[in-house]
Structure 1
């Protein structure tokens, strides 16, 4: 029986080639695009799922309360983990990670290798976070100070093989690092990302301070709870814990964040290890777009199938007279839709393989199509295909199987007003979704253009940032600065502790008016005397640093927001008291700089203190080189030459500041790209279906058109008549889509502190574009029949 169904299905597909091609192309695009989007969604929801004890692992988060409000920190004081484990029986175990310095540098075979994705880890780390090992014993690998566990990538980079156990690495000639383990590269969907783990040097003075002080933050702490423990019960008893360990308990509170929640619920958490924070809203958007594409492809099939019901009426009637039951007819029509979906599935499978590298490039993922992943991808596309086949064929199958035999055989068969109404609803739904996508694409594009063009308060173009990773370089920075400037293509050089658009954390220090009791945290960056001019920042009052260390070290420059926050009417000459980690200074305000965006435009400008480069709070960390962009290669070669003259240990680490600013909006750009591609694909699939539906309906009205032409109707009348009903549906779609799109994009724009207004012309342009495309699609078929000789039209059966 099944063989017969499939054979008849193939005959019908072959008989109606245009109908079949339209449906298969639409289904192929729908399945391909939605499958890749669902791959992205599944990956996002699978974060940290590789750890066996994921359901019992929690990250410790501190809630820090100050006059400015509450803030959440993913980094806590060093003793917290042990103290909690000792005080609460619900906690079975804990482990901590530390970061001592920005990067770690290894020397091997007279070459230097730097890495920022590293942590110092406690010996039991792998007991809580199990991974796939290539070599070594996870139970003992991190027991000794400076023992090193490296990933597969680093083993190949250093030694050309994963057989690296027992090999020694140098770091600055001071310490030997013994390789005690080699692990597989971490999956991309782990919130903790590292390539190197180092055994904690317990005898190091810095570690002793940070691991015992309740006033210093530095430990990333994870807790393993007992099988039946509830994190809420621990939090309820936290008040007593805080009171016994903190001088000001009212400023501190803690809560436990479940491991599966970290990826999507960490937007407000600062100083965590999770650099790739997820946005659940975006994932829902990707999911919705994938579903939209499938729906539109299914709607095409349903539209064309119900429209062709008239053509297949005799076939249904004969089958019923021959004794076919309703369920057999349903099976027949479902087999046709499923067969069509499976043809699309085969095409989609190869299309996914072809398009995956492009998809990876704009989603910043690393999906691969190989023997390890083909099974998962195959099952995903197969599952989508089965859903599409059954969904798209369900209504036509039920509709056709319910047709009355007597009416069919008398030639009076009608599908009823219900099926016509459904086709209109389906067409309107298709174009509503398409219009929403087009509006979203235009809004996202304009917002991304806006944040690229909005004045930042400084110039970020043609700026090369070179990291300082060596204490000797800091001591000789003036000589190095002069050497960097000794190039005809370098227009200026400055040094600072941080730069506008910083990707690392910006120092925060307690600040208060001199003599005041209340202090607040403010951002702090050390500038030299050339930074403000080099970045073309604007001083609104007072003066810049002079370059005289003894004078400038007693002065600060603050931004306009800091002036307002501190309530200063005439700030020049006033004194502020700055303090951090036991260091306290009274400094005089020398100048006020116009507000500049030192963080992405997702954030409003906060209060900023600019101290002189020589200060007790933060040492210099960067050289900024303003260069001629026509000679970028020469500038890089010159900078690298200078770097090697003064730092023989590490290679030059650099980036271009404008590229760093672009990186802030990577996730927004990814969403914009998905909107654009999704909008293009959905409108194409919708128009493909509209073309087929218009073709079929116009074919049904051929005699009517012939009669109208005989009675004097011209081409314009005919095109208008045939387009009118479809264009009405598009207008309805526009009216429905506009409020939906407006609400969705207003919600998305709330994430930006600086944003565009959603202008009326975006909706008008989107509606016009869709109307024009739809009219063009219908006109192709309308013109064809309008120019047909009416005699030929009237001869048709």
Structure 2
């Protein structure tokens, strides 16, 4: 019996091959798009879930008035370890895993990302598997390092690295005590190398906020209990005196203005308590995927309903011969399941072709067969298949099996208005999806164009960002470096800054500056005299830095417009500010520069204080060297700078990039989103138009005799266009009306994530509506023109 049903199913597919191919192809495209984004969702939600123990690992951060401090005090980990009964272990570490650390052995020299400086308890908190060397306490001794299999192969080939030495920055020698296995899934930290922090003792004080603190909770402890416990301990030990010895209960009711909070590591990537999250982009992509799947299934249902009439007599005969409605229902659902199975097979082939492009665009490694999610993916694929079969086949199967036997055997295939109304509802829903996609493409493109063309407040044209690995290069050796580079032909200016526009990770921590007895939290940036000249930043009030003693020894400051507005600074006003706890060394505000964007368009420009030197109670270093070159011979100038750099930092290869390229990285996520939305938007529109094309061909084909009669009676092309196209245009106008408020709301929510954004306007919706109407009119118009040119006698010959 099963073989008989399969034979009938394939025969019916072959009988209406054109409609079946359109059906299957449209569904395949929708399913393929859905599967890609389903894999991506699995990838995003798998962050820091590669080991069960990570469920108990949390990052400790500090809320301090207006600031969220990811970096915490050096002794915090020890305090929580000793005082918190809910904490099994705690570690502090310093990391910039995207910084390329110079590593060397006697045989090799490389630069490597993923370097972590940690204390001896790192491996008590993070469950990395040690596969060679010391398994218990590999970082117990000073100057020790644990490396990944990847680094072991890079530096030592097939030899055992245990006991051998690696030099960091060509200065710090560390002995390899163990090799660890890399994480089997993505994580918020990229860890390739963990070495014992050599400055632990020197930096171990509560004034040092340069460490990240992680804890591992004891089993079966509730998250809320952990946070409440550590917050109370921190208040009692560190904040109580500051808050007039209030009890913790009294302090708590006054609001969370200060204290510790937790982010469990598997929430950091997608659901952090503060800061940016990737889940918004993921959510948008999942909505798009679901809509594409809906578009494909609606397309399938519409074409199945349209093709139902030729099979009406078959159904009537089967009912006369004893087939029940239930049996016919399952037979047609079986046909749908077969077509959906073919569609999923084609979708898998399309997925194989599309995944490399998607992986490259989003910098991920998606695969259906990736270890660790195979079972999950299999279950999701099965459930997706069931849902697609139900959505695609339920109504067509009911529609087909409920034909009246007597009527269809007499040649009356009419089903009344109900079937038409439902089919039209599906068409409207399909074009609501298509309209939403068009509008999404327009909004994302306009916002991206706005971000890229908006004045940044500085010029990054032909400016090199050079990484200086030695602090001495950036500090006491800077004047010599500047003098050397200025001798090179093509170099216009050389400067430095601790905060560089375009850097991927920028410290947004603010400092409580004191001005006229009040505290103002502002960002502190160390620069050199020519910084503003190098970036072409405009002066608004006062003057720029010069070679005076006050400027060069942190007695003068320049602020940006946002800071000036915050302080109420006006031109000519004698105003001074001071670093925290440093009233004895006031800084005279000598100038105001126009605001310039450092953090991208998602965040507002911070109020900022610029100073030179480190002679006012607060030491800051880092950042990079900025070199502005003219457009004569860029390659030749860069080559000369690289040659000079061999004398400046002979132990390191010069690492450089162009500032404009670095700043463009802020837009990378949005550019990828634009490409994906555009691709899936075009896909959804094509699916809708293909379905409409086939459906229109079928329905107009049923009215060919009526059309021929009207032509005999004098109807021209315009009359036929109004007759056959008006219903479709009405449906599309209804779809646009429904899509407008939904699209407006979703677009507004997405744009709320930008500090600098476009305004939504009616013309954006008008453009989307015109686009979909033109596409539909063209699709229907092709059939109207075709039927208006056929030979009338061929259609009327049998009458």
- Give the TM-score of the pair, scaled to structure 2: 0.92
- Find the counterpart in structure 1 of residue 755 from structure 2: 753
- Find the counterpart in structure 2 of residue 21 from structure 1: 21
C-alpha distance in structure 1 between counterparts of 2:22 and 2:551, whole Å: 78
Q: CA deviation at 1:443?
A: 0.8
- Find the counterpart in structure 1 of residue 254 from structure 2: none
C-alpha distance in structure 1 between counterparts of 2:438 and 2:140, whole Å: 57
Pairing 1:200-211 to 2, within 5 Å after superposition = 200-201=197-198, 206-211=199-204
Deviates more, 1:681-690 or 1:176-185: 176-185
C-alpha distance in structure 2 between counterparts of 1:717 and 1:425, whole Å: 26
C-alpha distance in structure 2 between counterparts of 1:577 and 1:787, whole Å: 86
Q: CA deviation at 1:459?
A: 0.8
List alignment gaps of at least 5 residues for structure 1.
270-276
1:543 and 2:543 are equivalent in the alignment: yes
Pairing 1:339-378 to 2, within 5 Å after superposition = 339-368=338-367
Pairing 1:204-223 to 2, within 5 Å after superposition = 206-211=199-204, 213-223=205-215
Alpha carbons of structure 1 residues 149 and 587: separation in structure 2 relative to 1, 3 Å? same
- Conserved in 1, the CA contact under 8 Å of 2:471 and 2:621? no
Offset from partner CA, 1:371-403 (integer Å, 9 cap, x none): 859956676555534432332011111221222
Alpha carbons of structure 1 residues 153 and 179: separation in structure 2 relative to 1, 3 Å? same
CA RMSD of aligned residues (A): 2.6
List alignment gaps of at least 5 residues for structure 2.
244-250, 252-256
- Conserved in 2, the CA contact under 8 Å of 1:330 and 1:401? yes
Offset from partner CA, 1:649-696 (integer Å, 9 cap, x none): 222222221122222233222322222112111001010110111011
Q: CA deviation at 1:57?
A: 2.5
Offset from partner CA, 1:327-371 (integer Å, 9 cap, x none): 321222112222112222222212111111211232232225778
Q: CA deviation at 1:485?
A: 3.2
Pairing 1:702-721 to 2, within 5 Å after superposition = 702-721=704-723
Alpha carbons of structure 1 residues 127 and 35: separation in structure 2 relative to 1, 3 Å? same
Alpha carbons of structure 1 residues 615 and 681: separation in structure 2 relative to 1, 3 Å? farther
Offset from partner CA, 1:35-77 (integer Å, 9 cap, x none): 1011111111222111212332322222112xxx3x3222222
C-alpha distance in structure 2 between counterparts of 1:569 and 1:422, whole Å: 68
Offset from partner CA, 1:677-736 (integer Å, 9 cap, x none): 121110010101101110110111111111111111112222332111111111111111
- Find the counterpart in structure 2 of residue 248 from structure 1: 242
Q: SS at the partner of 2:620?
A: coil
Q: CA deviation at 1:283?
A: 1.8
Q: CA deviation at 1:226?
A: 2.7
C-alpha distance in structure 2 between counterparts of 1:175 and 1:33, whole Å: 50
Q: Which one of 191, 196, 202 corresponds to residue 194 of structure 1?
A: 191
C-alpha distance in structure 2 between counterparts of 1:385 and 1:508, whole Å: 52
Deviates more, 1:527-536 or 1:723-732: 527-536
Q: SS at the partner of 1:76?
A: coil
Alpha carbons of structure 1 residues 385 and 712: separation in structure 2 relative to 1, 3 Å? same
Alpha carbons of structure 1 residues 639 and 655: separation in structure 2 relative to 1, 3 Å? same
- Conserved in 1, the CA contact under 8 Å of 2:24 and 2:343? yes
- Find the counterpart in structure 2 of residue 770 from structure 1: 772
- Find the counterpart in structure 2 of residue 274 from structure 1: none
Offset from partner CA, 1:615-669 (integer Å, 9 cap, x none): 5532364221223467443343223222212112222222221122222233222
Alpha carbons of structure 1 residues 509 and 112: separation in structure 2 relative to 1, 3 Å? farther
Deviates more, 1:107-116 or 1:44-53: 107-116
Alpha carbons of structure 1 residues 517 and 674: separation in structure 2 relative to 1, 3 Å? same
C-alpha distance in structure 1 between counterparts of 2:165 and 2:591, whole Å: 52
Offset from partner CA, 1:305-324 (integer Å, 9 cap, x none): 11222111111112222222
Offset from partner CA, 1:394-453 (integer Å, 9 cap, x none): 111122122222222222233332221111111111111111111111111111111111
1:75 and 2:74 are equivalent in the alignment: no
Q: SS at the partner of 2:597?
A: coil
1:229 and 2:231 are equivalent in the alignment: no
C-alpha distance in structure 2 between counterparts of 1:372 and 1:561, whole Å: 50
1:155 and 2:152 are equivalent in the alignment: yes
Count matched residues: 778
- Conserved in 2, the CA contact under 8 Å of 1:114 and 1:650? no
C-alpha distance in structure 1 between counterparts of 2:349 and 2:373, whole Å: 11
Pairing 1:72-151 to 2, within 5 Å after superposition = 72-99=68-95, 104-109=101-106, 111-131=108-128, 134-151=131-148
- Conserved in 2, the CA contact under 8 Å of 1:168 and 1:177? yes
- Conserved in 2, the CA contact under 8 Å of 1:467 and 1:654? yes
- Conserved in 1, the CA contact under 8 Å of 2:488 and 2:641? no
- Conserved in 2, the CA contact under 8 Å of 1:31 and 1:381? no
- Conserved in 2, the CA contact under 8 Å of 1:146 and 1:198? yes
- Find the counterpart in structure 2 of residue 272 from structure 1: none
C-alpha distance in structure 2 between counterparts of 1:531 and 1:607, whole Å: 17
1:180 and 2:177 are equivalent in the alignment: yes
- Conserved in 2, the CA contact under 8 Å of 1:104 and 1:114? yes
- Find the counterpart in structure 1 of residue 246 from structure 2: none
1:672 and 2:710 are equivalent in the alignment: no
C-alpha distance in structure 2 between counterparts of 1:707 and 1:149, whole Å: 86
- Conserved in 2, the CA contact under 8 Å of 1:556 and 1:588? yes
- Find the counterpart in structure 1 of residue 518 from structure 2: 518
Q: SS at the partner of 2:350?
A: helix
Q: SS at the partner of 1:623?
A: strand
Q: SS at the partner of 1:312?
A: helix
- Conserved in 1, the CA contact under 8 Å of 2:48 and 2:185? no
Alpha carbons of structure 1 residues 127 and 324: separation in structure 2 relative to 1, 3 Å? farther
Deviates more, 1:16-25 or 1:73-82: 73-82
Q: CA deviation at 1:595?
A: 1.7
C-alpha distance in structure 2 between counterparts of 1:2 and 1:324, whole Å: 15
Q: SS at the partner of 1:218?
A: coil
C-alpha distance in structure 2 between counterparts of 1:447 and 1:796, whole Å: 60
C-alpha distance in structure 2 between counterparts of 1:631 and 1:332, whole Å: 75
1:314 and 2:320 are equivalent in the alignment: no
Deviates more, 1:750-759 or 1:187-196: 187-196
C-alpha distance in structure 2 between counterparts of 1:721 and 1:504, whole Å: 63
Offset from partner CA, 1:149-204 (integer Å, 9 cap, x none): 22233223222348433332123554432223333444562112222111344xxx
Q: SS at the partner of 1:585?
A: coil
C-alpha distance in structure 1 between counterparts of 2:748 and 2:202, whole Å: 48
Alpha carbons of structure 1 residues 667 and 692: separation in structure 2 relative to 1, 3 Å? same
- Find the counterpart in structure 2 of residue 482 from structure 1: 483
